[in-house]
Structure 1
């Protein structure tokens, strides 16, 4: 239930964060190139030792097609790591989800890899056969894919942790006495300026906090957070409160329920039971 802000976010990109993104991207690229070269050369050596005739071009096609397939999986793996984490899920649930994800991840990798290789071989006027002399080719590839997938997931987790900490370190400090709401997100605690919160919504045992372009998940009850924030916020529904200063327009229906337009451009619904609080 969180947007990118809880995992490094895209709101308020700082110079430090941009430098970290470039550094991570450069490091990832160097590692990817090194692994690709090492794998291709190792494969050539293994085929030569086994007396199997294979062209260097085909070996590189196999490696590059695999890398392209993995790169296509980078966004969903990144999204999965950003979303599936405590406190949204228990560690047992996280482990189970990550294990179950190995099946569709491997299926996509193998499928796209085969399509790319068949296309190249067809261009050469040849035929590519994935199910060749190797027995249990799918199981063999799956075992390899699990290891690679866990590496990518681990790199995504580390990168998101570094980006989240870069955001926290670069966050502007408010004047003494400014109100903040401490929101824990895994190993990171966001110090959210109360004056920048637009709305808060109950979500089970959590509260969704709309902070600029981000939505943070805070383990608390809406009533407890409302008491902590004070009169600067008003309840408009049993499951939602908004900051008074963010209200730009209130439109009341015949039923007495109403719609509030916030400064962020978002419209939220209010219940007639809480209409008096908006008017106060």
Structure 2
């Protein structure tokens, strides 16, 4: 007597040995955001130190609001930048053209960053009952921010290009869902298209075959040999010259003294098998 063991899973490429494209993208972008937090932390303490060195009053809260609003604005602007990098990069676009296009894009991206940053700061200052004044040390706040943003945009474009390259190169391909195989069974005036993995067993019945499917018996005009050919590669095995069973549906094999055997199916039905075919379900 043998009991069929439950099938285990060994995991596929996308499941255990690599990240999906979405997961890898999220991981890398999170790493970029955390790097941004580290940078603004350094900027906050540098700002505080510079203000104190100049003998000016300083507030850590204001410093964090200034740097945090800039980072938040860049996070939003990262969305159009992501799509721009995806479409304008080598080898899709020649390198000189890529550099020229991104140099032009840096201006509207920077203006968008400035607008968002000022909007965030205005709201933050409003919550504190204050008015935000958009100024700069040189008296030209937009040009002052543009100069800083050009280098920030170049850095962001390079990082996003690197992220997209890493995802394209190292992300695990999506698992392909195998096409479900079906068998056309004509039962009287009705033709059933049965998934092969739902057919439990097939038995010869004269010029017909009897197909066991979901507790029903469908009578189809065909030979068992012909059906066996159609089901080749679908996990069916012959246990008798007049019977096929789906191996995955076999729950137990009981060997008899005569050498023949009985197979207990998942439906609870017991079928007799011939000893010459025993290795088909026990192997």
Indicate the TM-score class for this superposition, using the shorter chain for normalisation: 0.5 to 0.7
- The SS at the match of 1:101 is helix
On the 8 A contact 2:136/2:144 being kept in 1, the answer is no
- Aligned partner of 1:82 in structure 2 is 86
The offset of 1:111, in angstroms, is 0.8
Distance 1:95 1:25, change over 3 A: closer
Report whether the alignment pairs 1:55 with 2:59.
yes
On the 8 A contact 1:17/1:163 being kept in 2, the answer is no
**Displaced runs of 4+ in structure 1, greater than 4 A?**
169-173
Q: Distance in 1 between matches of 2:97 and 2:120?
A: 35
- The SS at the match of 1:157 is helix
Report whether the alignment pairs 1:115 with 2:91.
no
The offset of 1:132, in angstroms, is 5.3
- Supply the RMSD in Å over aligned alpha carbons: 2.3
- Aligned partner of 1:138 in structure 2 is 142
Q: Distance in 1 between matches of 2:169 and 2:113?
A: 32
The offset of 1:17, in angstroms, is 2.9
- The SS at the match of 1:52 is coil
Q: Distance in 1 between matches of 2:82 and 2:26?
A: 17
The offset of 1:107, in angstroms, is 0.5
TM-score if structure 2 supplies the norm length?
0.52
Report whether the alignment pairs 1:45 with 2:53.
no
Query: Number of aligned pairs?
Result: 160
Q: Distance in 1 between matches of 2:33 and 2:94?
A: 33
Q: Distance in 2 between matches of 1:30 and 1:68?
A: 12
The offset of 1:161, in angstroms, is 0.6
Q: Distance in 1 between matches of 2:44 and 2:146?
A: 19
Greater Rg by CA: 2
Gaps in structure 2 of 5+ consecutive residues: 1-12, 177-283
Q: Distance in 2 between matches of 1:74 and 1:36?
A: 17
Report whether the alignment pairs 1:69 with 2:89.
no
Q: Distance in 1 between matches of 2:134 and 2:77?
A: 21
Report whether the alignment pairs 1:166 with 2:170.
yes
Question: Of Structure 1 and Structure 2, which has the larger fraction of its residues in helix?
Answer: 1
On the 8 A contact 2:88/2:98 being kept in 1, the answer is yes
- The SS at the match of 2:19 is helix
